[in-house]
Amino acid sequence: MSSITVDNISMRYGDQILFEDVSLQLHGANHYGVIGANGSGKSTFLRLLSGEERPFAGRVSIPDKVKVGYLEQDPFSSEEEPVLDLVLQGKEELWNAMHRKEVLLAEEGFTERHGLELTQVEEVIEKYEGYSAAALAGEILAGLGIPAEQQAQSLRTFSGGYKLRVELARLLFSEPDVLLLDEPTNHLDILSIAWLENYMARFAGMVILVSHDHDFINRVVTHILDIDYADMRLYTGNYQRFQQNKELHVAQVQKDQAHQDRKRKQLQGFVDRFKAKASKASQARSKQKQLEKMDEIEVLQTSRRMPAFQFKPCRNPGVTALEVRNISKSFAGRKVLNKVSFDVSRGEKIAVIGPNGIGKSTLLKILVSKLEADQGSIEWGYEAHPAYVPQDHKDVLDPDKTAMDWLWDQIPSSPIGAVRAMLGRVLLTGEAGEKKIKALSGGECCRLILAKWMMIDQNILVLDEPTNHLDLESIEALKSALEDYKGTLILVSHNRYLVSSVADRILEILPAGLSDFYGTYEEYLEKKGTDHLDEKIARNIAVKTDPSKKKAASGTDVGKQVYQRLKELRNQERRLQKSCDRMENTVHKLEKEKDENLSLLFNHQAFQALDTQDQKETVLRKDQLEQKLNKAMQKWEREMESLELIKVQIEQG
């Protein structure tokens, strides 16, 4: 069982203390979420655990046998290799064995020595389940949004965000005992985040992660490591439970302090009144000693601060705030947007979702004239004043200006006091406001741009991944501000907590076109789930539950439809059951053949008795049987899943 001991570690940079004298024992298959304000030391803590940094004081102890996996910044020596191969290299011993096997089988003068080495190589491949390794690596890549048809492409053909996905896939495939993940959901779309959640739920090792995604933390972690007050405290439970427990802890400390203050005041009052009286002098001295022995209960100042976001629309635009007609856009011959059309009504809060690379950010840039569409038209409504916050802050910020100078340049007519006050509202006070923008963190840059749109006239917010660099407190503040916003919102975000809280309409961009859903994100997911299971059942449910349909479809008609549907389902059930039985027999037959082949392959005496050609054929037959067995297993599993789905639908009527 994996374990990590943190013994009295302290970490500081110059005069800045991140945490002091922290001691922890991290155990087994627990999943720890590391949280804290921006700059509190979350990423630093992961680097200490990985060995990339050494603590200022204290030590981190990890047993030699424990394999720690940490996302490296630039782990690939070559970008010319296919991404599937790069993921397979996550298990170095397996990769070397697979490569050596190819070399041995290509040898023209195959000798007894080659045969012996081939047997040893096969043992390594068998140890790591190498003949299903490519399928597993492919599943991980697909789950992270890189489908099978792209997995043979070289890494250089992918964008930076997708390269990070390949890095994450390789780390997951390597199956370490301890996973250290720093913001793993950055650059992932909502579907990939959901896949990663499921993977984490099944992962049997220890996980220590930093994330600003409330929902992801809630679903993945079993414990919280809270960095605050220059300390690190361990809480059992997910983020929601942590919030409750921390509030109780802070409230108890405040209660204890108030009680101590009252006690101190009573003792001091007794001493002051009776210290000069001979009859009470001994009691006064006793009370004075009690006062001196009392430990000071100090309510420490939290490092967490919440910005005060508030966006006030300048005036109402027309009823139709925006009309988008047949927008298309291609890059290097690849079509990103294809005849996208939709309208935006005044006051709507729209979340634009879809897989990475589908064109969400491109669409927003076209809307605010940062990009020109290849065809189509954009028409903003009467008195529409859009405010744009890009995903890449460098698009709008001047790195050589200070935060103060840049913000004042945006609103030169405002008094300096108003600019300073606004910087304070977004936590850029004092020295932070005088820093060059190139020295600011990603979260500080985002808050600075949002400060601009709190001061400039706007009535439509166009936000592209605004939470990418914000801490949990800033995300909470932004969520509240967008909930209260009276204007129109067009939002691209992979943060489900934010999307679920504010959106009342979902625009999903897919390769096949645009899906437009009027409702919350939860309602969208519910509808999408039903449609995905069975479109006909969804229509039947709609007929049953929609009062407006009662006259159009009588009870008799609905009954006939349901009866006919159940009849079709039972016919499908019988066909699938027969197919599943056949596939099960095939799998058992192939497993038996595989075992017989392995017995020969790993019986050194019997294998060496074969001539070189038979040895080669024995090895190749193992490959062929593995491939056939994998395909048969996959087909059997698919048909079993289909059979279970049919059974559920029959039970639901």
Q: What is the pLDDT of residues 217-245, one digit of tens each?
A: 988 999 999 988 788 989 998 888 887 88
Query: Is the model's pLDDT at 276 over the cut of 50?
Result: yes
In a domain, 196, yes or no: no
Confidence check: pLDDT of 113 > 60: yes
The confidence band for 547, taking pLDDT boundaries of 50, 70 and 90, is very low
Q: Verify that 366 and 454 share a domain, yes or no.
A: yes
Q: What does the CA dihedral 103, 109, 112, 116 come to, rounded to 10 degrees?
A: 0
pLDDT at 498 (0 to 100):
92
Q: What are the distances in angstroms from CA 277 to CA 264, 345, 580? A: 21, 81, 98
User: Rounded mean pLDDT of 92-120?
Assistant: 85
Of 504, 524, 544, the one marking the end of a domain is 524
Considering only CA atoms, which of 208, 168, 170, 214 is closest in space to residue 188? Answer: 168
- pLDDT recorded at residue 300: 60
Does 331 lie in the same domain as 278? no
Determine the pLDDT at residue 378. 94
Q: Is 120 helix (H, G, I), strand (E, B) or coil?
A: helix
For the purposes of burial, counting CB atoms within 10 Å of the CB of 210, is it exposed (0-12), middle (13-18) or buried (19 or more)?
buried
Identify the three-state secondary structure at position 310: coil
Total number of domains constituting the chain: 3
Query: Residue 213 domain-assigned?
Result: no
462 and 341 fall within a common domain: yes
Establish if 231 belongs to a structural domain. no
For residues 118 and 619, the answer to whether their CB atoms sit within 8 Å is yes
Return the pLDDT at 540.
Answer: 39
Q: What is the mean pLDDT of residues 486-508?
A: 92
Evaluate if residue 301 carries a pLDDT over 70: no
Residue finishing a domain among 475, 509, 524: 524
* Residue 549 confidence (pLDDT) above 60: no
Band of the pLDDT at 207, cuts 50, 70, 90? very high
Assess whether 333 and 449 both reside in one domain.
yes
What is the pLDDT, as a whole number, of residue 565? 66
Residue 616 in any domain: the answer is yes
Q: What does the pLDDT read at residue 584?
A: 84
Q: What are the percentages of helix, strand and coil residues in the chain, rounded to 5?
A: 55, 20, 30
pTM of the model: 0.67
Main-chain dihedrals φ then ψ at residue 597, nearest 5 degrees: -65, -40
> What range defines the domain where residue 590 resides?
555-652
Bin 14: left if φ > 0, else alpha if -120 < ψ < 50, else beta.
left
- Say whether both 334 and 288 belong to one domain: no
Task: Supply the pLDDT for residue 560.
Answer: 47
> Residue 248: what pLDDT?
79
Residue with tokens 């949280």: 35
Residue 343 or 647, more confident: 343
Q: Are residues 503 and 615 in the same domain?
A: no
% of the chain surpassing 90 pLDDT: 35
- Quick check: 193 and 213 in contact, CB under 8 A? yes
542 belongs to a structural domain: no
What is the band of 302 on the pLDDT scale with cuts at 50, 70, 90? Answer: low
Among candidate residues 160, 164, 165, 163, the one with its CA nearest the CA of residue 145? 165
Say what angle helices 133-143 and 190-202 make with each other, to 10 degrees.
130
Asked if the structure places residue 207 within a domain, the reply is no
Residue 21 has pLDDT above 80, yes or no: yes
Query: Do 335 and 467 belong to one domain?
Result: yes
What backbone torsions phi and psi does residue 58 show, to the nearest 5 degrees? 85, -170
> Predicted confidence band at 543 (pLDDT cuts at 50, 70, 90)?
very low
What are 42-91's pLDDT values in tens digits?
A: 889 999 999 989 999 999 999 989 999 997 655 555 688 899 999 999 99
The whole-chain average pLDDT of the chain stands at 84
Question: Does residue 140 lie within any of the structural domains?
Answer: no
Handedness of CA 409, 322, 478, 197 (dihedral sign): negative
- Say whether both 432 and 367 belong to one domain: yes
Say whether both 288 and 346 belong to one domain. Answer: no
Helix (H) or strand (E) holding 388: strand 386-389
Judged by average pLDDT, the poorest of 389-403, 420-434, 532-546 is: 532-546
CATH number at residue 470: 3.40.50.300
Pairing between β-strand 3-13 and β-strand 16-27 as defined by DSSP bridges: antiparallel
554 pLDDT more than 70: no
Domain assignment of residue 486, yes or no: yes
In which band, very low, low, confident or very high, does the pLDDT at 39 lie, cut at 50, 70 and 90? Answer: confident
pLDDT confidence of residue 599:
83
Q: What is the pLDDT of residue 75?
A: 57
Percent of the chain whose pLDDT exceeds 70: 90
Q: What is the pLDDT of residue 162?
A: 84
Please tell me the total number of residues recorded for the chain in this structure.
653
**526 and 542 Cβ atoms separated by less than 8 Å:** no
- Whether 253 and 369 map to the same domain: the answer is no
Shared-domain flag, residues 407 and 446: yes
Quick check: 359 pLDDT over 50?
yes
Same-domain check for residues 252 and 356: no
Q: Is the model's pLDDT at 538 over the cut of 80? A: no
* Strand 488-492 to 460-464 pairing: parallel
